[in-house]
């Protein structure tokens, strides 16, 4: 556990590879189709409310939330529903999806209008209707975050602008290109949730963002904090400790220490949505990797097939060894380039066979680096040993379920042991009561 170490002092120095940091976002033309997964959030998948042949518009609801932490799914194009189909979700499970063929007109749904927000309840309703999930990667519905049970105890809004994953620069571009929306979104949340203070945490490798936001917020109760360049500064518990000095207890939530955390792109989206009423239907993504011809930041309609996005970026210079949703530390491999862009994707990386080739693992040398680097103080090697011997009681004792799959332990391991993926399997085994 982390009682004797500051989480922010742990982690690892990973290569930044922020090649696209200064590349302005370009808007990709409409794809030939969009494939809208009904599972773009952590809760129950949405239920399709359209059928083959239906006409839809920009902003039309095509999937209805099916639970408290579920979310509506909206079309980002006007066009015709071509199919209700099944695709493979990033976790390998089958997932229902709605396929829409754009008509090129981009007619906005006549029901779309900017929401009227006058108090907290109407803000929460608006954010729920917008379809917003945490855009930093987790896919947690934003409306739920804005409804903590102990609202009167919340005194700090922490904004995650860390963007600590190698390669990814989409939040960085948001802070540069949508600065006003970032600030407006923060002010809206502070106003309606009556939060007196905000801290924006940005890794120190983004001096332009730190400078710009510091200047623009100098007369506001908003502090811009430069975070150490030590992965994973963007992990919620690490970020809270670095920005506020408060340690989220185990088990516990940010609200237990008076904090709400929102991603920088999420707050910018909220401000835009309140102005336009257009739900979450597009996404800014970093497209990079050693075999992408023209890496950059691209705004795409959610549901765009990855292959069409890669083609827009000039295609690949060779057959990929691996294509990832997200960065190399926490990203997930895509099963096929036909898979669609999801709401919570912030990058697509295409890596050569040489870069993607797994390094041969050797025996553990008991150096303890994995434990020393884990921001949660977990002992990765002990957890993996408990997993290999199917010792669920020991996994519970070692708090394996707290692991956030940040990949730091695998990165620092000199024996190149796949610790983080094994711990992910250990967590599944815990859920299944001891079955692998």
Contacts with ligand SF4 by CB under 6 A lie at 364-370, 374, 376, 378, 380-381, 403-409, 413-415, 417, 419-420, 423
Q: With beta carbons less than 8 A apart as the criterion, state whether 131 and 343 touch.
A: yes
Calpha distance 409→412 (Å, rounded): 5
Calpha distance 145→285 (Å, rounded): 23
271 vs 409, which CB is nearer to ligand SF4?
409
Residue 413 CB, nearest distance to ligand SF4 (Å)?
A: 3
Residue 381 CB, nearest distance to ligand SF4 (Å)?
A: 4
67 vs 368, which CB is nearer to ligand SF4?
368
Q: What are phi and psi of 370, to 5 degrees?
A: -60, -40
β-partners of residue 37 are 97
260 vs 380, which CB is nearer to ligand SF4?
380
133 vs 376, which CB is nearer to ligand SF4?
376
Q: With beta carbons less than 8 A apart as the criterion, state whether 233 and 239 touch.
A: yes
β-partners of residue 35 are 99
Which of 399, 350, 336 minimizes the C-alpha distance to 371? 399
196 vs 249, which CB is nearer to ligand SF4?
249
Burial class from Cβ neighbours inside 10 Å (0-12, 13-18, 19+) for residue 4 reads exposed
259 vs 423, which CB is nearer to ligand SF4?
423
Which of 258, 266, 265 minimizes the C-alpha distance to 240? 258
48 vs 418, which CB is nearer to ligand SF4?
418
- DSSP E strands, 229-361: 259-263, 282-288, 296-301, 322-325, 332-333, 347-351
Calpha distance 426→390 (Å, rounded): 8
Residue 12 CB, nearest distance to ligand SF4 (Å)?
A: 8
Alpha-helical (H) ranges within 291-343 are: 306-312
Alpha-helical (H) ranges within 114-178 are: 120-129, 142-145, 170-177
- Paired tokens of 137: 């990667």
Residue 162 CB, nearest distance to ligand SF4 (Å)?
A: 15
Rg of the chain in Å (alpha carbons) = 21
147 vs 424, which CB is nearer to ligand SF4?
424
Q: What are phi and psi of 68, to 5 degrees?
A: -60, -45
119 vs 397, which CB is nearer to ligand SF4?
397
CA atoms within 13 A on the CB side of 381: 17
Residue 400 CB, nearest distance to ligand SF4 (Å)?
A: 8
Residue 384 CB, nearest distance to ligand SF4 (Å)?
A: 7
Provide the 8-state DSSP code for 45: P
Residue 420 CB, nearest distance to ligand SF4 (Å)?
A: 4
Calpha distance 205→164 (Å, rounded): 9
Residue 286 CB, nearest distance to ligand SF4 (Å)?
A: 22
Residue 111 CB, nearest distance to ligand SF4 (Å)?
A: 43
């Amino acid at each position: 556990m982390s009682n004797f170490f500051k989480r922010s002092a742990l982690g690892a120095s990973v290569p930044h590879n922020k090649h696209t940091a200064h590349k302005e976002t370009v808007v990709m033309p409409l794809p030939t189709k969009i494939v809208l997964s009904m599972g773009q959030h952590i809760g129950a998948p949405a239920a399709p409310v359209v059928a083959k042949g239906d006409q839809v518009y920009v902003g039309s609801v095509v999937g209805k939330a099916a639970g408290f932490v579920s979310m509506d799914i909206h079309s980002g194009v006007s066009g015709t529903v071509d199919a209700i189909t099944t695709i493979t979700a990033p976790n390998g499970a089958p997932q229902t999806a709605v396929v829409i063929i754009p008509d090129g007109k981009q007619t906005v749904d006549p029901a779309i209008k900017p929401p009227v927000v006058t108090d907290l309840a109407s803000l929460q309703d608006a954010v729920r209707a917008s379809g917003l999930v945490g855009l930093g990667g987790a896919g947690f519905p934003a409306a739920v975050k804005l409804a903590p049970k102990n609202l009167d105890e919340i005194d700090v809004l922490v904004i995650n602008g860390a963007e600590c994953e190698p390669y990814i620069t989409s939040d960085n571009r948001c802070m540069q290109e949508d600065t006003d929306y970032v600030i407006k979104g923060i002010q809206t949340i502070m106003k309606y949730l009556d939060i007196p203070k905000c801290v924006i945490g940005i890794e120190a490798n983004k001096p332009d963002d730190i400078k710009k936001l510091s200047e623009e917020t100098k007369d506001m109760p908003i502090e811009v904090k430069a975070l150490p360049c030590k992965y994973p500064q963007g992990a919620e518990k690490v970020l809270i400790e670095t920005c506020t000095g408060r340690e989220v207890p185990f088990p516990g939530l940010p609200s237990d220490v008076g904090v709400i955390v929102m991603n920088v792109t999420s707050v910018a989206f909220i401000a835009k949505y309140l102005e336009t009423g257009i739900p979450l239907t597009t996404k800014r993504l970093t497209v990079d990797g050693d075999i992408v011809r023209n890496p950059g930041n691209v705004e795409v309609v959610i549901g765009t097939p990855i292959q069409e996005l890669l083609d827009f970026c000039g295609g690949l210079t060779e057959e990929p060894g691996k294509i990832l949703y997200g960065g190399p530390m926490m990203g997930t491999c895509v099963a096929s380039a036909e898979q669609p862009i999801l709401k919570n994707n912030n990058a697509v990386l295409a890596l050569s066979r040489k870069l993607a080739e797994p390094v041969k693992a050797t025996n553990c040398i008991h150096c303890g680096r994995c434990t020393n680097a884990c921001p949660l103080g977990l002992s990765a090697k002990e957890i993996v040993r408990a997993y290999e011997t199917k010792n669920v009681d020991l996994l519970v004792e070692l708090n394996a379920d707290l692991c956030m799959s940040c990949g730091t332990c695998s990165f620092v391991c000199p024996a190149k042991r796949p610790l983080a993926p094994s711990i992910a399997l250990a967590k599944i085994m815990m859920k299944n009561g001891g079955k692998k």
